[in-house]
Amino acid sequence: MFWIVDPCVSELAGDARQLSPSAQEAIRLRAVAALVAGRTRQDVAAVFQVSLKAVDNWWAKWLSGGREALVAQPRGRRVGEHQVLDAAEQQAVRQAVLDHRPCDLGLAGQLWTRAGVGDLIAKLYRVRLTEPGVGKYLRRWGLSFQRPDKRAVEQDAEAVRLWREETWPTIRAKAKAEGGEVLFADQVGIRSDQVTGRTWGAKGCTPVVRRTGNRFSVNAMSAISTKGRMHFMVFTETFDADVMCRFLERLAGHLDHKVHLVLDGHSAHRSPTVRAWLAAHPDRIELHFLPPYSPELNPDELVNADLKRSQPMHSRARDQAQLAAETRRFFHRRQRQPHIVRGYFGGPHVRYTLE
């Protein structure tokens, strides 16, 4: 009787210590299968190029635990085993990073880095970790390195809460009862020398974007609704009460129902000229003002960000007229993309408008 060896086995033969765990597992299982089939210990050891002791150990494991005793087991320490910081200490550091700035805890800076977190750990527990070691803890805690949002220190948290929970629901209910529509509005400026975005280039050699050296700018005001509608006006003069009234005139002319316009507390929005216009058109437009220093509550701020991010990447304007035309093309393009306009309301800080 001849014993035909699987070709895969010959590939696994050799010094088993140099093989992968899965390959070692395959040798053990095939060796035991050969013993079950009636082969002698010596034959199996010779074919698989292992010692008799190894064959005996595999056979003993097979008899005591079956196939499960021969499969590969995870190597090394289990996740979380023998860590420098225990669970309570890790939770304390994680919460400190989430709730405080470094300067709040007697450290340097306002943003957390791996070195900063390492300094905090050293300050609290007299343990100094390497930056890669700190990075492993941060990832294990579910944290990632991000660009933070900015908030004005003058912002009133209670005013923001009242806006979300009381003022906004009241405005929405009033507009619905009147058969009107709520729009969020804001103004933005675009400069010819603004460069944003990234491009590919050779390492160590910063790419150059060639554009006009003349400096000019245009301004725009837009208003958007949760239904995906957008209204805008591009202008070159400074934004003031007269420009605001012109925008209100255009907005009222485009709609056949009352508009509840939500915007920030810019001085032009509250000027006597604008108040007089509103008093003369009480059934056309009503203004509502966001809490002070709270631009993140306005979905139209995301329109501005979208404009400033996409416009410089495609701009070839050589003068103010061309820049104004490119800005109008951006808004016309977005007017034909209501799904993108609706998407502005899905941002984490403005999602309250949909709830």
Q: Examine the domain organization and report whether 27 and 123 are in the same domain.
A: no
Higher pLDDT, 82 or 288: 288
How is residue 325 written in tokens? 């035309």
> How many domains does the chain fold into?
3
Q: What is the CATH number of the domain that holds 346?
A: 3.30.420.10
How is residue 332 written in tokens? 């016309």
- Is the pLDDT at 314 greater than 80? The verdict is no
Structural domain span for residue 50: 7-69
Higher pLDDT, 153 or 227: 227
Q: Is residue 279 part of a domain?
A: yes
Q: Is residue 171 part of a domain?
A: yes
pLDDT tier, 81 (very low <50, low <70, confident <90, very high otherwise): low
Across 231-235, average pLDDT: 97
- Is the pLDDT at 92 greater than 50? The verdict is yes
Least confident stretch, 11-15, 84-88, 280-284: 11-15
**Domain final residue, candidates 34, 52, 69:** 69
Q: Is residue 173 part of a domain?
A: yes
Residue 76, pLDDT score: 59
Q: Examine the domain organization and report whether 55 and 161 are in the same domain.
A: no
The 8-class DSSP code of residue 19 comes to S
- Is the pLDDT at 14 greater than 60? The verdict is no
The answer to whether 188 touches 219, Cβ cutoff 8 Å, is: yes
Q: Is residue 150 part of a domain?
A: no
Q: What is the pLDDT of residues 248-270, one digit of tens each?
A: 999 999 999 999 999 999 999 99
- Is the pLDDT at 6 greater than 90? The verdict is no
Nearest to 136, CA basis, from 99, 95, 100, 83 = 83
Q: What is the pLDDT of residues 113-126, one digit of tens each?
A: 999 999 999 999 99
- Is the pLDDT at 327 greater than 60? The verdict is yes
Q: Is residue 284 part of a domain?
A: yes
Residue 317, pLDDT score: 80
Q: What angle do CA 244, 250, 254 make, to 5 degrees?
A: 145
Strand order of the sheet with strand 285-289? 230-235, 217-224, 181-191, 259-263, 285-289
Q: Average model confidence (pLDDT) for the chain?
A: 88
Whether the predicted model's global pTM rises above the 0.75 cut:
no
Nearest to 251, CA basis, from 215, 227, 224, 212 = 224
Q: Examine the domain organization and report whether 101 and 35 are in the same domain.
A: no
Sequence-distant contacts of 343-350: CB under 8 A, at least 24 apart: 344/224, 344/299, 344/300, 344/302, 344/303, 344/306, 345/224, 345/226, 345/299, 347/299, 347/302, 349/149, 349/296, 349/297, 350/296, 350/297, 350/298, 350/299, 350/302
